Amino acid sequence: MESKVNVVVINPKDNVAVALVEIKAGEPLVGVAGKELTAKEDIRRNHKVALAEIPAGGRIIKYGESIGAASRAIEPGQWVHTHNLKSEDR
């Protein structure tokens, strides 16, 4: 049985996806084309989860554009938010 979609990737260039439901650590991310990923930590609903390795200082891409830089290295399946994303210019 196919599991229900739990993340959305908005642009194919994106390295983060949006959680549609509360995702627990260890659960698979369903909705990412061509990739098998698992949540490394709990992801709250509407929050972001990394789809690829992002080095410290690397761009975090959503909508195909940079929404900020990684303030530390981020692994696929990790939660992405203000604790590891630094906004630019402001």
Binding site for other proteins (CB under 8 A): 4-5, 8, 10, 18-20, 31, 44-48, 62-68, 80-82, 85, 87-90
The distance of closest approach from Cβ of residue 12 to other proteins in the complex, given in angstroms and rounded to an integer, is 10
Comparison of 11 and 38: residue with beta carbon closer to other proteins: 11
- Which residues, at least 6 apart from 34, have a Cβ–Cβ distance to it below 8 Å? none
Q: DSSP code of 22? A: -
Closest CA to 19 of 52, 45, 51, 50: 45
The distance of closest approach from Cβ of residue 60 to other proteins in the complex, given in angstroms and rounded to an integer, is 8
Sheet containing 16-19: which strands, arranged edge to edge? 7-8, 16-19, 48-50, 79-80
Q: What's the one-letter identity of residue 16? A: V
Comparison of 8 and 73: residue with beta carbon closer to other proteins: 8
Q: What's the one-letter identity of residue 31? A: G
The distance of closest approach from Cβ of residue 31 to other proteins in the complex, given in angstroms and rounded to an integer, is 7
The distance of closest approach from Cβ of residue 53 to other proteins in the complex, given in angstroms and rounded to an integer, is 18
